[in-house]
Amino acid sequence: MNLFIEQTLNGLQLGFTLLMVSAGLTLIFGIMNIINLAHGSLFMVGAFVAADVGGRTGNYLLALLAGIAGAAVAGLIVELGLIRRLYHRDHLYQVLATFALVLIANQAVQMIWGLTPRSVSAPAFLDRTVPVLPGLPYPAYRLAIIATGIAVIVFLHLLVERTRVGMWIRAGRTHRELVGAFGVNVRLLYTLVFAVGAGLAGLAGVVAAPFLSVESGIGDHFLILSFVVIVVGGIGSLKGALYGSLMLGLADTWARTYLPDLFGQFVDPSTAATAGASVASASIYLVMVVVLVVKPNGLFGLADE
Amino acid sequence: MSDPQTAPASRERTGIRLGLWARGPSRWHIALTVVFLALLSVAPLWVEASGRGYLVTVLTRVVIFGLAAMSLDFVMGYGGMVSLGHATFLGAGAYTAGALTYHSLDGSRLLGIPGTDQALVTWPLATVVGALLGLVIGGLSLRTKGVYFIMATLAFNQMIYFLFNALEIYGGDDGVGLFAASRAIGPLDASDDIVFFYVCFAVLVVFTVILNLVVRAPFGRVVRGCRSNMARMAALGYQTYRYRLAAFALSAAITSLAGAMAVTESQFLSPSFAEWTESGELLIMVIVGGLGSLIGGVIGAGALFLLEELSIDITDNWQFFVGIGLLAIVLGAPRGLTGTLLGGRRSHD
């Protein structure tokens, strides 16, 4: 039972990290109708800037803020310099242009920070365990990630549903021209949403960095996972991003924990470990397959236009 | 650029800007195809004569990856399906041929079948595996459209990539060398690089002819119709899903064949064939060469490998410059090299 609770928390931690990446991506897609492959690069920028600042100052909070700011600024530059020109282009060209950014970014971080992988350590004040249940200690850092994820989704929910900017965002999803006609600076709004999404990707990069080795291309896997989240949850929907992220985080973690044991009941342990691991790594995609078969537009997708 | 009768109804944002040869291959197009293939056919002799024989393997890779890019152009430029997952099939072909070769060297069996390094067995088998996988992945992904399709194909790509990574028997993420394998193609020993080039070149020519015939055939016309206006094709009574799926599976089969050829060429099997960036690079080849032209895929592969070969001595960061160049093309010359080469009216979205 303790193992189950522990793994469920691990799954939630992965899910909320994914949420930070995919919420921005889905907002950007929902309002601007643009597919951005470079979102994973913003994750990478966050991780690298945090590793750099953290390495220099030894101050985690400073590293965190720098990572978020670095990704948000990179996002601003990308939006103003490139994405802006792509709003009215075909998705194919958006894919190509943002793929070009991925190539450039992956190479640029190597040119700036070298080939040696870097590491970010969890902050000292969270580098301990707390008992979530009597007799079940759990790393405080992972709990902090879950809390951060909850804060992010509450913030985004309030931003989108309760503020004037959020009203524009919601209106912009369906009536882009009309919002502009009412005097809203749509370009500025897009830039703002893009920068917020970029900052969130950077945040995800910073908080996930202690589990990863910070090297060129680390954001790519998270980018693709976010695409799976969006296919599962539905494009443009924060609710979809939330449920999609948590479903995938849990599916992945549970499958990794239990499948090797389950397979071990039928075949010898080493085969079971290998087979279990490969099926587990495919588990999130199997979730996607089921959703594609049952609801091709995603669980909470906006109505198909 | 587009057919005026269908253009007004074609408001779907996910529809692809019509390629240069939207109405099917023109005379200029065929001339360009023949000229380029003729140049490619003498290229190995020329580099050999000029004392740069090491470039023959680069030319072979141009042919192999050009074949994959051409088949991607078939679904993308003619079928309007933007697949960001064609490395899936490259990997599937590579692993089919590579696994058979591995077991023939090892003397072990693969699911009870003895291995072989005979290309006349491994290549066709890889093609069949690619077609079947294309039916499954295409069948699921085509339930969606537009940007969802792009994301779904990319996601399946990543799934297959991780599966290959988990195959510890073939070296996991490091891959495995198959250097002891022969390059037997029927009775022919193609271990000589020039001989192997011409084998691959012959395959490329065959599929260039086949795909050019397919896009002009009634089947190809329906597939192209689905790109311009799916609703209209459905209203005309065509089962658009089936036509698109068949086109996707055909493309997957050819890409998988290219994957098998690539592993015979490199004699090294690794998951990098199926890496998602490989899907992106195939896409680059198509766009650089010119969308909707078939031969453009090969031209694009040539341009990309040439750039790599030229810049690798100068800088380790050649991908950085590929990225810059790609941005320039997307923003400045969206019709690719062939489109710019042949000129013509600039199209608008």
Residue B349 bridge partners (DSSP)? none
Residue spans of the domains in chain B: they are 25-341
Give chain A positions within 8 Å (CB) of B277: 102-103, 220
pLDDT value of residue B8: 36
CA pair distance B246, B139, nearest whole angstrom: 9
Helix, strand, or coil here: B335? coil
Are the beta carbons of B331 and A100 separated by less than 8 Å? no
* pLDDT digits 0-9 by tens, A221-268: 899 999 999 889 987 788 999 999 999 999 999 998 888 888 888 877
Q: Mean pLDDT score of chain A, rounded to an integer?
A: 89
Structure tokens belonging to residue A84: 């802006």
Are the beta carbons of A103 and B84 separated by less than 8 Å? no
Tokens 């900052």 belong to A199
Above 50 in pLDDT, residue B349? no
Mean pLDDT of B203-211: 96
Give chain A positions within 8 Å (CB) of B163: 278, 281-282
- Least confidently predicted of A102-106, B276-280, B321-325: B321-325
Residue A266 CB-half CA count within 13 A? 7
A222 in Cβ contact with A40 (< 8 Å): yes
* pLDDT digits 0-9 by tens, A206-221: 999 999 888 998 999 8
Tokens 């766009």 belong to B287
B261 in Cβ contact with B201 (< 8 Å): no
Report which of B97, B83, B9, B118 is spatially closest to residue B280, judged by C-alpha positions: B83
A109 to chain B, any CB pair closer than 8 A? The answer is no
Structure tokens belonging to residue B217: 């055939």
Q: Which of B147, B291, B319 sits opposite A107 (nearest CB)?
A: B319
Taking the CB of residue A275, how many other CB atoms lie within 10 A of it?
Answer: 17
pLDDT value of residue B22: 46
B61 in Cβ contact with B229 (< 8 Å): no
| Position B347 confidence tier, pLDDT thresholds 50, 70, 90 | very low
Mean pLDDT of B217-223: 92
Angstrom CA distances, A232 to A126, A237, A294, B25, stand at: 33, 11, 10, 39
Taking the CB of residue A85, how many other CB atoms lie within 10 A of it?
Answer: 13
Structure tokens belonging to residue B260: 């098998």
CA pair distance A247, A9, nearest whole angstrom: 12
- Least confidently predicted of A39-53, A177-191, B279-293: A177-191
Structure tokens belonging to residue A211: 């589990």
The answer to whether the pTM exceeds 0.95 is no
| Position B315 confidence tier, pLDDT thresholds 50, 70, 90 | confident
CA pair distance A14, A161, nearest whole angstrom: 26
Note the CATH number of domain B25-341: 1.10.3470
* pLDDT digits 0-9 by tens, A160-210: 889 988 888 888 777 878 888 888 888 888 899 999 999 999 999 999 999
Residue predicted with more confidence, A133 or B253: B253
Report which of B40, B48, B32, B28 is spatially closest to residue B67, judged by C-alpha positions: B40
pLDDT value of residue B190: 84
pLDDT value of residue B18: 43
pLDDT value of residue B197: 95
Structure tokens belonging to residue A180: 């502009």
Residue B307 CB-half CA count within 13 A? 19
Report which of A111, A103, A113, A139 is spatially closest to residue A53, judged by C-alpha positions: A113
Above 60 in pLDDT, residue B238? yes
Write the DSSP assignment of A247-295 as a string of letters: HHHHHHHHHHHHHHHHHHTTS-HHHHHHHHHHHHHHHHHHHHHHHHHH-
Are the beta carbons of B317 and A289 separated by less than 8 Å? no
B280 to chain A, any CB pair closer than 8 A? The answer is yes
First and final CA of chain A: distance in angstroms? 46
Helices marked H in A128-175 — which ranges? Answer: 140-162, 164-174
CA pair distance A243, B243, nearest whole angstrom: 34
Q: Which of A104, A108, A282 sits opposite B162 (nearest CB)?
A: A282
pLDDT value of residue B90: 97
